[in-house]
A = this chain, B = another copy of it.
Amino acid sequence: MTKNKPLILITNDDGVTAPGINALMAVMAEIGDIVVVAPDKPQSGMAHAITMSETLYLNKISTENDPVTVYSCSGTPVDCVKIAVKEILKRKPDLCVSGVNHGSNSSINVIYSGTMSAVIEAGIEGIPAIGFSLSDFNWNANFEEIKPFIRKITLETLKNKLPKDVVLNVNFPKLKQKDIKGIKICRQAKAFWAAKFHKRETPQGRDYYWLSGEFTNPDQGEDTDEWALNNGYISIVPVQFDLTAYHATKQLNTWNWNE
C-alpha cells in the first residue's frame, strides 16, 4: 500500500455480489486503496434505514492474500457505512463511493435509494462521497461503457474538494461510451412514483399486496437530472442532508403560533 494513495470505502445496495459493485471496485482499485463493505443481500428501497432492533453480522469474504479487503454485512447500506467506519477502517476514508446501482437513482429516487443513503450517511460523517447509478435494471448491464466516466468523476472529486455537507448523485444513461454527450450538473427533477398495489390472495384465502409504481415526471425543466439522462448526458446532482426548507421560514413566521 502506497502511503499517498487515497483510502476509498465502497458499498452499494444491490449486495456484495452485484456486477455493479464489481465495476466500481475495478475502477477504484486503480485510484486508491479500497475496502469493500456491502450488504450480504439486496437492499434496494431501504433508504436511510438503520438496524436497531436486530443484530448485525459481518463476514470477511476476502482472504489474507487477496489484493482487496471485502466484507459483507447483514444490515442496510447505512449500517455498512457505519460499521465500516467504526469497526473496520483504521482511519476515516478519503472517499466513499456507492453503486454502481442497477437502475437509476435520479429525481425523487434519491429519497428511496439505499445506494444514495449510504452516500448521504458518509456525508453526515464528514466523508466526501459519490453515488453512481446506471439507468439499466438488468443484472447483466454493461458497466464497461461508463468506467472511464466513473474514473473521471472520482479523480475530479478527489482533486477539487466537495462543498461542505454536499455529496454527489451521479446517474448514467444507458448508452455506449461514444454516444454519451458529456456531464451536466443538474437539479433533482420534481417527479414522484404513482403507487400501484397488486392485490392477490394466499392459498389460504388471505389478501395480500405487492407494491409497485409508475414513475411520473411532470417537471420538464432542462436543468433536471431526468432531462440530462433522457438527452444523452450523465447527470450529477449535488445533494444536501440539511432538509430545512429555508425559503418557507418567513411565511411560517407570519402564522399565529403563539397567541
Residues of A within 8 A of B (CB): 42, 44-53, 55-58, 75, 78-79, 82-83, 85-87, 108, 110-112, 117, 120, 124-125, 152-153, 156, 160, 162-163, 165-166, 182-183, 185, 187-188, 190, 192, 195-197, 199-200, 206-212, 236-249, 251-253, 255-258
Contacts and interface: CB of A to CB of B under 8 A. Distances in A.
A252 B236 contact: yes
A163 B247 CA distance: 9
A168 to B, nearest CB: 8
Number of identical protomers: 2
A56 B208 contact: yes
Given A238-B245, A243-B188, A211 B52 contact: yes
Contacts of A45: 49-53
Given A47-B47, A190-B242, 11 more contacts: A50-B112, A57-B208, A79-B211, A83-B211, A86-B195, A124-B192, A185-B257, A238-B245, A238-B249, A239-B244, A243-B243
Contacts of A185: 249, 252-253, 257
Given A45-B50, A241-B108, A182 B56 contact: no
A47 B44 contact: no
Given A195-B85, A208-B57, A253-B185, A46 B44 contact: no
6 contacts: A45-B52, A48-B111, A75-B211, A163-B245, A183-B257, A185-B253
A120 B160 CA distance: 33
